[in-house]
Chain A
Amino acid sequence: MNKNLHLIYYTFNKVSRYSLAGLLLQCLLFNLLVARDTTAQNIYNVKLQLTVADMPLKRVLETIESKTEFTFTYSSLKIDLSKKISLKGQYSSLGKMLEEVARQANLDVKQQGFNILLKPQAERHTLNAFGSIRGKVLDDQLNVALPGATVLQKGTLNGTTTDLNGEFFLRVPVGEIELEVSYIGFQKISQVVSIADGTTASIELRMRSEVTELSGVIVTGSLQGQQKALNQQKNADNIKNIISADQIGRFPDPNVAEALQRVPAVNIERDQGEGRYVLIRGLAPQFTNISINGEQIPSPEADVRYVALDAIPADQLASIEVSKSITPDMDGDAIGGSVNLITRTAQTDQLKVNASGLLGYNNISGKTNLQGSLELSKRLLNNKLGVMLNSSYYETERGSDNWERDGDELDLRDYELTRTRLGLSGTLDYRFNEKNEIYFRSIYNKFTDREFRRSSVFVPNVDNSPFEDNVLERYSKDRLEKQIVTSFNLGAKHNFEKFNLDYEVSYAEAIQDTPFDIEVASVAEVDQLALDFDTNKDFPAFTVNDLSHTNPSNVYLDNTQYAFDEATMGNTYAKDVNKTAKINFTIPYEANGATGMVKFGGKIRSKEKTFDITENVFGYTGADDLTLDQYAGGNVDENFLGNRYTLRANADVEKFVKYFNANRNDFELSVDDKLVTEAVEAYTSTEDVYAGYLMTKLQMSKLMLLGGFRYENTKVRYRSFNVINESEIIPEVGGTDYGFLLPQLHARYQVNESLNLRGAITRSYARPNFSDIVPAQEININENEGTIGNAALKPVSATNIDFLTEKYFGTVGILSGGLFYKKLNEFIFTRRFESSVYPGSEGVPIFLTQSQNGQEADLFGIEVAYQQNLTFLPGALQGLSVYANYTLTSSNARIQSREEADQQEEIRLPGQAKHVGNFSLGYDKGRFNVRVSANFNGEYLSELGDEAAEDFYVKDRVQLDATATVVVNKKLRFFAEFLNLTNQPFEVYQGEKDRYVQREFYSWWTRVGLKLDF
């Protein structure tokens, strides 16, 4: 099977190698987009009014030919040209008019460029005859698609919702069909459509915003975004939250992780002040599935499966879906939820140009940042070919001031970073006709992070040991890390008479390349060193040689005192590749007046993940003294932690590297350390997943039921090394197989048009991180201990129960509240035990540390969300809007007691914050919009210590941001964003709340820019 898989993907794999070249080619295709379209207009875009009474068909056709550029082609032998035709209605287009002509003359009409083919209708089956409607729902004022609109055949339960492009496909009986379309914030509309047997009518439905009708408000992107998001959320089969692209603009969130923090029950882990990992419903990042266009993306990082979402610019996306309960047609490894990032597609035959440019300032670095994006899209070839190209670039120079405590040691850390995000995405889709289409989506994201870290570490000899000294250490780290995530999806959708078929092959590749990672260490010894963490718990004090740290003559500032200690140089390369193929069949049916569908399909995913590392540690053997002052340089933070501490120039890594290269013979490689480190960490693994599912959805009067099951089988194999006693290196192979049957049931009861009750009971699971399965097997028999991986480790499985009530407001808003409960089985915990079975064992029992299954955990939560534009308020207050949500969670996990090995201990789930919430107050007045937003992340357990009193907690944090927008006109917007206004630090404490072990400050930063939409 595996061999076949490789054959199937061989060609696809080859294509991926030229991914960037492909995207460049797409750039060249920009010319195509802006070139004049010489093809004929769609007859549904041609305006024509004609009123005739009992006019022969031939004359009607001649009249139309004389008024338009179209020519009719037909056989006079097969068509009755004398047939009398009457036209007296208001037709929105030539296409509509011809539909009426065709209905009266029993004709089929088909456009081929400037030719319109007419032929007699095929013989009708009068009983159970069906046709279909392919349509698009648009905002009449802004001429943009409306996703999530409800389209219903009036008087029946037969209906559907529009997709992200505002399009829908609906099977209907032949004859005059009245379609009713509703959308939150828009006036409901209906339209009659004539349907002939076996034909597909194409229609365009335009809706008008209630907001503009009622109050004359200028509709901005953010309002439009709320409407899109809420409509999709309301009509979704499962419990999900949607963030539309326009809505992202309401908040100053440059990357996907930060955009997600506004979603109820989502909190994020930050790195250097920027959101990076997503935690849904209090579960750690590995419990969340991250997808692009419905397909899981691999992780660029070596040890884990989850993706750092700061690598992906938010302006690449059409929308973000957060599914909190999964359906059988979704990947099952998503206990916390599933985040799907959806890229954009071309929507109209008009060239759409969206561009933005921003400049900003970061207070702590004193540097500017910049961002630009450009998107071009157009439908060509009579709307058949859609081309969308998007590029985005972001560069920021930022930093942080940080102090950390490790036992009795103090570390003052000054970070300076340059980060860039490049996003390129393209979508080509071709519609052969109303029922068949293919698409090719690609996305390329490159995130670079150049980090300078300058540390001053103070290590006092607190016990006055004659074997130790009071030591001052200086470290300078300089590294470049590149994360590249590339994804290609090639697929097709077919709407056959009795069923729908869609299939897709995809290739996704994630790379984390660290071409250099260099740290230079220098060390000094002093007679006296004392740290004081108690007098001022926020900012510790210290003395060196009996001088206060605030004294500018303090010896810790004298670089001549620091001797070179060692230099660590190296590089790492992690690569994770997913090759996927999937197929889905959807069969609609009716049963006792209810409509429904059966859906089934399968998926194969082949993953290969590798990690290589080079790490060289060099000591100095030269005869001449090598002290820090000889290789110091670079920037010095003159206002470190609010000028509470003074810093001196640390090692300039680049300067040191030049010295190293010139004096290579005086540096000695630590060979044993190199061999051990590289062997312990490097690995290769493969993971093949085979999945199949069967589900059905039934829409009764007000109740929708969706149920089914999914089966996923996984085979994991790996190759790595065991290191025994830091000297013996033994190759290791291993693997595991496991399968999960995942039943899912969802219910949605629509009390009325604005009130939904939802419930779901689902099964899901989360695969272990690679660091747990693929072992870093380090056995130190002499020291009586070892750390071993667990090839047999099983995923965590969970039963999830969800209830949610949603009340939607006509003025665009929602009040929702719900409960959720998760029972986690086979919860993974770190176990320490005595055993004589381990690599390299000679029967001697030692203490081993290993990730194991076996314990359980419970998670319970309540979430409420409220957002509304308060247009019902009097006077100027009607410009106010509120966006708020709050989630309360409680968890209880059982692990092996850290005090008594044979006992159990209860802990909170790591990563679970009891309180998470957002509050945002906005004000719209004419062309102006201002918004102040607060994001609250409650404290959470981040790392277990050797005992409960040593556990590490990330302290709660409130970040205050503000945005202001001025709508110059429909095409131009000016906006300004201010982030972290109150300089909220990232704080970690150990055991007691005031025993800080880390306080990291980022200060505030801002961005100002323009956004253009042509």
Chain B
Amino acid sequence: MYMKKISLTSIGFALSVLLIGCADNSFEELPQDDNYPFRLVLDTNEGGDLADAEDYGITIKFADYLPDLNLPNEEIIITYQIKDLEDDMVGSVRIDKVIYEVEIDDCIYERELDFSASADGLTGSIVLASDEDLGSVPEEFEVVVTLPGGESSGSFIFEITAIETTQPVLLGSPREFEYAVLDNEVAGGWEFEITSDEEFESFKEIFGQLNADIEALSFSEITGTVKAEFEFGEMKFEIELIETEEITSCENGESETETVNKVIEFEAEYEVEDGEFVFEGSREIINDNGLVEDELDFMLEGTYEVDEESGAIRFTFLILIDEDNYEAGEELYASEIGVSFTFNKD
């Protein structure tokens, strides 16, 4: 009897120990991070164009996904609404078309997706269907909305409200895109002519430090034309070279070859306020092997003046710093007078 009691106690104890030991301190709810659904998102949450723009493309795309996954091949219904319309946008904004591009044999074909809209055009749905050539739905497409044009003002919000699909696709974020008319003084296209070696060296003193290709140029290699484009939060300079190149483009089955001047581009984000501007971006550091060793953030600050009569704008560049060179005396460029260039409306 005594032995039996010990036996039962022993077994009970051993099993208890085993069970306690095998019980892990786990979560009540584990993260659902091991399935990787596609996420359909708006490319950005804000944007805008000049007041006279008559339409605008809003990009919807699949966010980054694992390379071994195939995009869905069954249609996805995307419902949307256009809301919070202000000023001239009221009654003007509706979807004009929904397009995407397919590349076949180096030729770009623009194709449209079906959509339906309410009578006022402010709600509706887009049918994201599988493309026969792609074998799946397109990775991204553009919703082109109509704008009032002219000297319009105002804003609106385009929102994806839901998606319907049997595929592993989530409606991700951003889901809302806010459009606002660009109303700053520098917005739009500009052009500047460099007419002398000295002027080009002054230009290079600033932009040569931000772009190795510009630094390598000589005045004899450029036409002198520098175009500037200021869009929503982003600006771009194009320096036109004398050297030309043949560019063959193929759209919708029609191929066209044209000879154009080569250009070197410089891009940055920008902010303007009260006659002052800041360009921000990153500059590449090239090592001895000619490879990009690092990228450093930079800030280029200065002032601008708009000539109301001629419509020209004069940019004066005063200070250029980067992550490694920002303390007084260590700037990449610093001058109280600065270097100025006058741009005319393109």
Contact = CB atoms under 8 A, between A and B. Distances in A.
Contacts of A389: 14
A638 B170 CA distance: 42
B173 A480 contact: no
B67 to A, nearest CB: 7
Interface stretch (B17-25, B134-142, B216-224): B17-25
A654 B172 CA distance: 23
Interface stretch (B33-41, B98-106, B259-267): B33-41
A34 B326 contact: no
A670 B36 CA distance: 11
B15 A516 contact: no
A664 B294 CA distance: 34
B10 A665 contact: no
Nearest to A419: B25
A660 B173 contact: no
Interface string A453-480: 0000000000101110000000000001
Contacts of A347: none
A27 B175 contact: no
Interface stretch (B58-66, B107-115, B143-151): B58-66
A353 B293 contact: no
A782 B299 contact: no
A36 B1 CA distance: 11
Interface string A650-691: 000010011011001110111110110000000000000000
A658 B28 CA distance: 9
Contact of A374 (B10, B33, B174, B289): B10
Interface stretch (A106-114, A585-593, A613-621): A613-621
Given A34-B3, A482-B24, A665-B171, A518 B31 contact: yes
Interface in B270-300: 287, 289, 291-294, 297, 299
Contacts of B3: 34-36
B293 A784 contact: yes
Nearest to A355: B13
A816 interface: no
Contacts of B13: 355, 372, 374
Contacts of B37: 664
Contact of B30 (A31, A446, A482, A657): A657
Interface in A850-872: none
Interface string A544-570: 000000000000000000000000011
Given A518-B31, A668-B63, A621 B11 contact: no
Given A34-B6, A391-B17, A671-B65, A665 B30 contact: no
A844 B291 contact: yes
B28 A466 contact: no
A28 B18 CA distance: 13
Interface residues of A, number: 64
B17 A665 contact: no
Nearest to A36: B3
Nearest to B280: A467
Contact of B7 (A30, A420, A518, A669): A30
Contacts of B39: 665, 668
Interface residues of B, number: 55
A507 interface: no
A35 B17 CA distance: 22
Contacts of B33: 569-570, 616, 618, 660
B24 A623 contact: no
B174 A623 contact: yes
B26 A621 contact: no
B206 interface: no
B176 A30 contact: no
Given A372-B17, A616-B33, A671-B64, A784 B291 contact: yes
B254 interface: no
Interface in A623-665: 623, 654, 657-658, 660-661, 664-665
Contact of B289 (A35, A480, A623, A784): A784
Interface in A422-436: 422, 424
Contact of B27 (A27, A392, A657): A657
B29 interface: yes
Contact of A422 (B11, B21, B173): B21
Interface in B142-178: 170-176
Contacts of B18: 24, 27, 391, 422, 424
A783 interface: yes
Given A374-B10, A391-B14, A661-B29, A448 B64 contact: no
Contact of B31 (A391, A466, A660, A844): A660
Nearest to B291: A782
B294 A783 contact: yes
B321 interface: yes
A450 interface: yes
B21 A781 contact: no
Contacts of A418: 25
A614 B17 contact: no
B26 A31 contact: no
A621 B173 contact: yes
B323 interface: yes
A656 to B, nearest CB: 9
Contact of A665 (B27, B29, B172): B172
A664 B292 CA distance: 37
Nearest to B6: A34
Contacts of A518: 31
Contacts of A661: 29, 31-32
Interface in A501-518: 515-516, 518
B217 to A, nearest CB: 23
A395 interface: yes
A376 interface: yes
B209 interface: no
A845 B25 CA distance: 50
Nearest to B69: A671
Contacts of B66: 671, 674-675
A770 interface: no
B64 A446 contact: no
A845 B39 CA distance: 41
Contacts of B73: none
B45 A623 contact: yes
A421 B13 CA distance: 16
B172 A668 contact: yes
A450 B25 contact: yes
Nearest to A661: B32
Given A34-B10, A781-B291, 9 more contacts: A24-B18, A27-B11, A355-B13, A424-B18, A450-B24, A516-B30, A660-B33, A665-B173, A675-B66
Interface of B: 3-4, 6-7, 10-11, 13-15, 17-18, 20-22, 24-34, 36-37, 39, 41, 45, 63-67, 170-176, 287, 289, 291-294, 297, 299, 321-323, 326-327
21 contacts: A34-B6, A353-B6, A374-B10, A393-B21, A467-B323, A515-B26, A569-B33, A623-B173, A623-B174, A623-B175, A654-B28, A660-B31, A661-B32, A665-B170, A668-B39, A668-B64, A670-B64, A671-B67, A675-B67, A844-B289, A845-B289
